Every structure is written in C-alpha cells, then in structure tokens.
Structure 1
C-alpha cells in the first residue's frame, strides 16, 4: 500500500462513520464536532486535530466520489516507519487487548515489514494506549445483530486433502439471519480466495456494514482493508486466542465436518 493510499485510509477512518447517509443532520453535526475536538495520529506519526471545515470537505468528497476521492495524488514515501506506527495505533485502538507482538505480526503480514515489537510497545505507551482487556471482543461475545447485513462473520475451515493437497473452505455468515451468505472452496489459504468468498456474498446479498474476522493471514492483508474501505465496510479483527463472537460460524463448520466431510 503506497503513501497516498495510507493517507486515504487515514481520512476514511476518521470520517467513515460520519459519512453514513442514514444519519440525521443533527447526528452528523454532533459526530463531526466530537471528531474535530479529538486528536488523530496522522501518517507522519504526529497527533493532529482536523478542523470541522476539513472534516466536512472529506465527508462530501467520500459521499460524492467514494474512497478514491479521499486519496491524494500519490507520492513516494522516504520513510515508512511513521505510517506503520500509525497503523499499530489503529490496530491497538481496534482491539485494546492486542499485544505489541501480535500487532507486529499483523503489520508484517499486511505491509511486508514492521517496526520491532519493542518499538511498537514504546510507541503505544507514549500514545497512551497500554494493553488492556478487549471490550470490543467481550461485547461481540454477547452481541447479536438486529438487522440483516449489519454484521457478517468470516473464517476459513481446513478441509480434506485432495490428491495430497490441503483444501480450505472460506465462509461468511450473516449474524442476524445465520444465513451463509458467501463461501468458496480453495486450494490456497490466501486473501484472494477470502475476497472471492466475500464478493460472492455481496453479489448475492448486498453489502454488509461490518465484517468480523480473525487474524489469520488471509484477513489481515492491506488489500482486504483497502477493499473494505472503498466499499464503506468496517473490518473488525478478533483478539488472538479469544473466541468471543465466533461461536455461530464455528457451529456452521461443525455441521460441515459432521455432515459434509464424511
């Protein structure tokens, strides 16, 4: 992911929620005021405030032109360290229970390189983000979506060997209806096949508001993050070793093992 795409993602992370067309003018105004009062870590590693005028401009651009309208003209970045530390902050904020080592691995998977776990830990501490229990994961453990397409859960099942090669079943489940909205059998456990299963679901059932996945390599790719940003979908990662919110799709996989993979 190049510098321009990183800036576009930074802007989208700030205004994505405020760009929701279902918000009333009062709700949007209240949200934008809160965003303007908050500090945000920019791609250069600086804590900055964004004015209401700028936020309104980004919201208009996103609503008129989608994610691409938030991406500035690309330019080569000489030093990717601040950008990756900004990503580390975003990952810790998304899941407060993530350790520096886990964040390091996710960034390596997505970017090909990352600051050391110790550097990440120091940066997160300086940013006021110590590791703590995952409130998001706990909430998802008790959560049930109220509407169709509010939340999809995705995962990959290791299937049988065929001609000596491992197979994988990628699935996406609608949390509200328990409907298997998209799936794909594949010979490789990678982001391409995960994206194909997700695309099949969106073609058949429409766009979800959020997708909840684990930290396996197919789901931490920058390619998947950008695709979700372009489509206005929130991508949520679970905390490694904590299964909250994944019981429904695990039951689907158990049925597949017991009734299909005989």
Structure 2
C-alpha cells in the first residue's frame, strides 16, 4: 500500500486501523535450530528418554530453556516414546567420534551375563572391564538387578579402583535408569550408549563375556548365591594378573 499509493506507514496504518507498533514489531525469540539439533542428538543416543529427562540434560549443559519449550520442540520433532517395540534399525548416533582409551580408568565397558544356580534359580552377573588395561574391577552376581543396584556396585568398586571417565553400556533398563544417570552426572562420568541392536558398539565387553562364560560359568555348578560369588571372585583374581 505504501508503494502503490506513495503514502507513509503512519497514514497506511491509520487507513487500515492497524497499530503501528504491530507493524514495527521484531521477534526477539532466539534461533532454536541449535536446540532442536541437540534434542534430536540426545534422543538418538538415549532412545528411551522422554522430554522431561531430555530437559534435565539440557539444563546440565546450560541451554537455559524452560520445560514447556523443550516439550514443544520434542513434540514437533515427533520424538514421543511409543509403547510398542521399535523395529530393528532404529536410528542412533554414529560412532565416528569414539576414540581408543589412552590409559587406565579412561573407558570402562559394562554389561550383564545370565546364568542359573543348580536349583534352577536365575542369576544376573554385572561384568565390568577396563578397555585399556583389560582389568576387571568387579563381577557381581545377584538374582535380580535394578538401576540402584548397579549404582551401589559401581560406587563400592570405584572407591577402590577410582572413577572412570566414560562407561560404555547398552540400552538396558538398568543402564538408562534415573539412578545411574544421576550417579554418573554427580561423579563426572560419561555414559556412552550403544546403538540398539548393535553389540559391536561395545565389543570389548562382548568378548570378555564370552571368555567369562567359557572359563567360569560353563565350568562350575553354583549351589547358592554365596557360592557363585566366591567362585566368580576366585576366577576374577586369577584372570586379572594372568591376562
């Protein structure tokens, strides 16, 4: 209108009954492209995280966003969790940025191995390996494991062996728990998650678990949980100096 009739903005706004302040308004909203990219990266790695836990990680990294904005972006990107089992080939962060460990306690790898007692009662063994020295700080069998049990075992071990910089884990429920996440954050430990369905992302622990099963689990009968702990600890002590 200003160009066609060669009139000022004031007269054009007056003729249209349009507030000039609205015409001159400039949005002060910060560019959210970087925030969208970071939320997507977090969800690709931590595939079971909802928007609330994504927001906690963003706060730790200093993004300074509120939870409503996090939820809006999370929803607009279509990242909502589904109850159905995801198909194979779920996208996750590529691992080009992974580097080899350069010293002890630089990178640990952690996983579970399943076995049973002579009575048929199930066992779950938490296995941990230092990927640089191949030292095994702990083999901890229990009948069942929760996130808080993993934290309890790691804290007990780390007080003696020291805290690692990074722990490589899969997407198991115990490893994506709030308890482990909070422990890792408070201790300055990075949890490096494998891609779903990609055990080769954590090849060190897979190789160790195969040896552990062949040399220990397949060679013994475990009568009780205490018996299993004793025999596994004897094997761990044998394995560490020899390997």
Task: Please state which band the TM-score falls in when normalised by the shorter chain.
Answer: 0.5 to 0.7
Kept in 1, the 8 Å contact 2:151–2:179? The answer is no
Equivalent of 1:44, from 55, 61, 67? 67
Residue-by-residue CA offset, 1:160-202 (whole Å, 9 max, x unaligned): 2453321011012111111112331111032133223322331
CA distance in structure 2 between the partners assigned to 1:134 and 1:241 by the alignment: 13
Once the two structures are superposed, the pairs formed by residues 24-173 of structure 1 within 5 Å of their partners are 40=63, 42-46=65-69, 82=71, 85=74, 104=81, 134-136=93-95, 138-140=96-98, 143-173=99-129
Q: Counterpart of 1:244 in 2: which secondary structure?
A: helix
Deviation at 1:134, TM superposition (A): 3.1
1:10 aligns with 2:58: yes
Work out the number of aligned pairs and report it.
Answer: 164
Change (3 A) 1:9 1:230: farther
Counterpart selection for 2:149 from 193, 197, 200: 193
User: For the structure 1 residues 252 and 104, does the alpha-carbon distance in structure 2 shift closer, same or farther, using more than 3 Å as the test?
Assistant: same
Q: Structure 1 unaligned segments of length 5 or more: list them.
A: 16-39, 48-81, 90-98, 109-115, 118-130
Contact 1:172-1:197 within 8 A present in 2 as well: no
Q: Are residues 244 and 251 of structure 1, via their aligned partners in 2, closer, same or farther at CA, if it must alter by over 3 Å?
A: closer
TM-score when normalising by structure 2:
0.56
Paired residues of 1:167 and 1:186 also in contact (CA < 8 A)? yes
2:199–2:206: 8 Å Cα contact kept in structure 1? no
Q: Secondary structure at the match of 1:229?
A: helix
Structure 2 residue runs of 5 or longer lacking an equivalent are: 1-51, 220-243
Per-residue CA shift, 1:38-81, capped at 9, x if unaligned? xx47341437xxxxxxxxxxxxxxxxxxxxxxxxxxxxxxxxxx
> Which of these residues, 136, 160, 166, is aligned with residue 210 of structure 1?
166
Structure 2 counterpart of 1:248, from 190, 204, 210: 204
Kindly provide the CA deviation profile for residues 67-118 of structure 1, in whole angstroms up to 9, marking residues without a partner as x: xxxxxxxxxxxxxxx39949xx9xxxxxxxxx95xx837xx8xxxxxxx99x
Q: Root-mean-square deviation (CA), in Å?
A: 3.6
Query: Partners in 1 of 2:188 and 2:92 — Cα distance?
Result: 28
